[in-house]
């Protein structure tokens, strides 16, 4: 007997989604959120996330109607717990009486208990082990393979949402453009005549050596006549200064107290991005900016961008593959195919 898909069967008028993670992880959820909105065009969709993600929700008003800051949990490392805010947070979410709560945070080891406390009529998400399908819950077995966007989109598909594409997005606003213009950073830059180096990452032990970024950057500047631009937050100014100190070409140091949106406008005008495995690589994917991404710790099969010909992901935990980083930067800038590949599934890594 045919049974209607979960989202059609429950027809929720309001949804609360839990994903309390940092920028790159949030951008990986965009295809899933897009599919959810397409499946429930009239539903009120709220996001519960880390406090910074207010700006993420505002950047995607077509997919999210509301943002609710999460005060933390002792077993989640992304932020310190605000214990004094926990009771009011859960009481407030429960009082909303959401029709559906979706756990989009991961395997559910900790997050399922968090989301079950939201008091929604129905709950869906991932879990460890066998799937659990009941009238008021649909918890699907967490996949161990696939990229992060593919895993999250697979959840929505199994709930009954039609995929609306796997591509990432990073929409830019007039405010982003005005902020960058007001900063004066781009005063002497011509669109398409520069490339960006982003030497930082949230965790410094993920960073490729500054001297390597400098050497590859100097070679690109010489061979392609492009100006190097160093990007980062104001807190990463020491990293960009270190790269600049190793370079023969004088770079534009754009590590400044500007927003992520303004930095993304700067990236949009570049020919190429060199970076570590960090959130900016997913911004590049959303902007369709060619990039070379250096991995040394994270699961490359999970966190590499889907388009691995436009975004070359190189595994270099011992910082010995600068020549390969340069090779792929050259290939992207000249439009040539890579001379050496190693395939994983359908797509190449290096």
Rg value, the chain, Cα: 21
- At 250 the pLDDT is 95
277 in Cβ contact with 253 (< 8 Å): no
Whether the pLDDT of residue 338 is over 60: the answer is no
Q: Which helix (H) or strand (E) segment is 294 a member of?
A: strand 291-295
Residue listed under structure tokens 């082990």: 129
Q: What is the mean pLDDT of residues 266-291?
A: 97
**What domains are there in the chain, each with its CATH number?**
6-159 (3.40.50.2000), 174-349 (3.40.50.2000)
Q: What is the mean pLDDT of residues 51-74?
A: 97
Q: Whole-model pTM?
A: 0.93
Whether the pLDDT of residue 2 is over 70: the answer is no
Whether the pLDDT of residue 342 is over 60: the answer is no
Percent of the chain with pLDDT strictly greater than 90: 86
- At 169 the pLDDT is 97
Q: Which of 225, 260, 15, 250 is nearest to 118 (CA)?
A: 15
Rounded (5°) CA angle 300-111-77:
65
- At 343 the pLDDT is 35
Q: What is the mean pLDDT of residues 337-348?
A: 47
pLDDT in tens, 66-105: 999 999 999 999 999 999 999 999 999 999 999 999 999 9
- At 337 the pLDDT is 61
d(CA 190, CA 134): 58
Whether the pLDDT of residue 345 is over 50: the answer is no
- At 142 the pLDDT is 96
Higher-confidence residue of 4 and 99: namely 99
Buried b vs exposed e over 253-277: b needs ≥16 C-beta within 10 Å? bbbbebebbbbbbbbbbbbbbbbbb
pLDDT in tens, 188-238: 899 999 999 999 988 788 899 999 999 999 999 999 999 999 999 989 999
- At 348 the pLDDT is 64
Q: State the chain's mean pLDDT as an integer.
A: 93
Q: Which of 36, 299, 309 is nearest to 146 (CA)?
A: 299
The lowest-confidence range among 3-12, 171-180, 293-302 is 3-12
Whether the pLDDT of residue 127 is over 50: the answer is yes
* C-alpha to C-alpha distances, 189 to 266, 307, 341, nearest whole angstrom: 10, 28, 34
Whether the pLDDT of residue 341 is over 50: the answer is no
Q: Is 75 left (phi over 0), alpha (psi -120 to 50) or beta?
A: alpha
46 in Cβ contact with 76 (< 8 Å): no
């Amino acid at each position: 007997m045919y049974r209607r898909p979960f989202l059609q069967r429950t027809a929720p008028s309001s949804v609360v989604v839990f994903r309390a993670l940092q920028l790159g992880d949030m951008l990986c959820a965009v295809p899933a959120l897009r599919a959810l909105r397409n499946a429930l065009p009239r539903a009120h969709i709220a996001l519960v996330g880390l406090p910074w993600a207010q700006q993420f929700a505002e950047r995607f008003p077509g997919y999210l109607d509301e943002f609710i800051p999460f005060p933390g949990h002792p077993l989640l490392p992304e932020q310190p717990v605000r214990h004094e805010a926990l009771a009011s947070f859960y009481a407030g979410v429960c009082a909303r009486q959401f029709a559906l709560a979706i756990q989009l945070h991961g395997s559910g080891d900790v997050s399922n208990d968090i989301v079950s406390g939201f008091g929604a009529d129905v709950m869906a998400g991932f879990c460890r082990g066998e799937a659990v399908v009941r009238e008021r819950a649909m918890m699907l077995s967490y996949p161990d393979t696939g990229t992060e966007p593919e895993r999250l989109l697979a959840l929505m598909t199994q709930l009954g949402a039609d995929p609306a594409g796997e591509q990432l997005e990073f929409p830019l606003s007039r405010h982003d453009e005005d902020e960058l213009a007001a900063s004066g950073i781009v005063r002497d830059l011509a669109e398409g005549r520069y490339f960006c180096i982003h030497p930082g990452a949230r965790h410094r032990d993920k960073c490729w050596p500054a001297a390597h970024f400098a050497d590859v950057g100097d070679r690109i500047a010489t061979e392609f006549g492009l100006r190097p631009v160093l990007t980062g937050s104001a807190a990463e100014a020491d990293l960009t200064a270190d790269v600049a100190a190793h370079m023969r070409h004088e770079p534009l140091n754009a590590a400044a107290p500007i927003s992520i949106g303004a930095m993304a406008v700067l990236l949009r005008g570049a020919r190429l991005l060199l970076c570590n495995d960090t959130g900016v690589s997913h911004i590049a994917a959303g902007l369709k900016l060619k990039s070379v991404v250096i991995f040394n710790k994270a699961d490359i099969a999970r966190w590499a961008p889907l388009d691995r010909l436009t975004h070359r992901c190189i595994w270099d935990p011992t910082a010995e593959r600068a020549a390969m980083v340069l090779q792929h930067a050259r290939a992207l800038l000249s439009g040539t195919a890579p001379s050496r590949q190693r395939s994983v599934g359908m797509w190449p890594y290096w």
